[in-house]
Structure 1
Amino acid sequence: MDHSPNALAERLTELEIKASYADDLLEQLNMTIYRQQQQIDSLIQEVVHLRQQSQSAGQEGAERNLRDELPPHY
């Protein structure tokens, strides 16, 4: 292994470049996780809202017929 100042400087430069790429990748992964958590939170809110709608619809129209739910082309 070459321990000359030039070889050490080159190796240090390579390590700095690798560290920079690793930092960039880590930042991209953090942003991906952040966006996914926002999507999960949004989906949870939507599920809660749909459950509330479903429960209120069940209480309001217990006598509803499933045929009323069919689209007009049936």
Structure 2
Amino acid sequence: MLALEEQVAHLQRNVDELSDIVTRQQTEIAMLTRRVQLLMEREAERESQAGMGVHMGDEKPPHW
């Protein structure tokens, strides 16, 4: 019985540690998502001010 209690305590500690890690990761992902969104908006604004259309990376240059 004592061995089972020790095992449960160990597992509970692991679950608590993992929960803390997931919480930190969730916060970081939310922050990074917001930063990407702001960068996308900034780039779209820059492109619209420059009068450029949407640039596709796989498009051939106009002289082809």
User: Normalising by structure 1, what TM-score?
Assistant: 0.65
Q: How many Å separate the matches in 2 of 1:54 and 1:25?
A: 43
Deviation at 1:51, TM superposition (A): 0.7
Local SS of the residue matching 2:51: helix
Percent of pairs with identical residues:
15
Pairs aligned (count): 52
Query: Which consecutive unaligned segments of at least 5 residues does structure 1 have?
Result: 57-74
Measured in 1, the distance between the counterparts of 2:28 and 2:6 equals 33
Whole-angstrom CA distance in 2 between matches of 1:39 and 1:25: 21
In the alignment, residue 42 of structure 2 is paired with which amino acid? E
The structure having more radius of gyration, on CA atoms, is 1
Aligned partner (choices 15, 24, 30) of residue 28 of structure 1: 24
Structure showing greater relative contact order (alpha-carbon pairs closer than 8 Å, 6 or more residues apart):
2
C-alpha distance in 2 between matches for 1:19 and 1:9: 15
- Higher helix proportion, which one? 1
1:18 aligns with 2:14: yes
Structure 2: state its 5+ residue gaps: 53-64
CA RMSD of aligned residues (A): 1.3
Q: Write out the 4+ residue segments of structure 1 that deviate beyond 2 Å after TM superposition.
A: none
